[in-house]
Chains A and B, each alone.
Chain A
Amino acid sequence: GEDVEQSLFLSVREGDSSVINCTYTDSSSTYLYWYKQEPGAGLQLLTYIFSNMDMKQDQRLTVLLNKKDKHLSLRIADTQTGDSAIYFCAESMADKLIFGTGTRLQVFP
């Protein structure tokens, strides 16, 4: 099967930057996605990047894509306690999304 891999946990201090990493498998994926899951809730689309882009910035969020290494990262600037959640990367494959294992981000004061 296809594997989209992420580290399971990340802990950062409030105000610092967070960087969540992801490696994916299908070099033909057209889009790559980041979803956020808050406690007890479903996933919400956070941002996405088209595969011909290297970087996308959206307010405090920066997505970096390294197609050669099949590596995707999400940087959250000035991380706040409200950013505490599980973050999933996902790649498009055969008209469906394949999700990573999720990274639990914990923000402490």
Chain B
Amino acid sequence: QLQLQESGPGLVKPSETLSLTCTVSGGSISSNNNFWGWIRQPPGKGLEWIGSIYYSGSTYYNPSLKSRVTISEDTSKNQFSLKLTSVTAADTAVYYCARQRSNWNYPAWFDPWGQGTLVTVSS
């Protein structure tokens, strides 16, 4: 059974870089036809897609965050990571990682999801 687990600092200072890692177990991130994605949810609000990385390494980002986001993968550790630069209080959210199915080589639906990790941006 595929499982994902987010890890990283729960508190980040304004203007600094948020870094999170998603560790995948029960399957390989190098397997064909899978994307690996990041989604966030501010407290009490809805879901926002951040970006996705294909098993081949190609990436897709939310245009509203693209200038600040980098998603990468480490196949040797079966992990993928998120970096979000120049954070502000508006980036405070629960951050989820998830597997995504590929739909004609584009990222599609998310399943399963990690449990999520709360990241607070505050000095």
Are A and B part of the same complex?
no
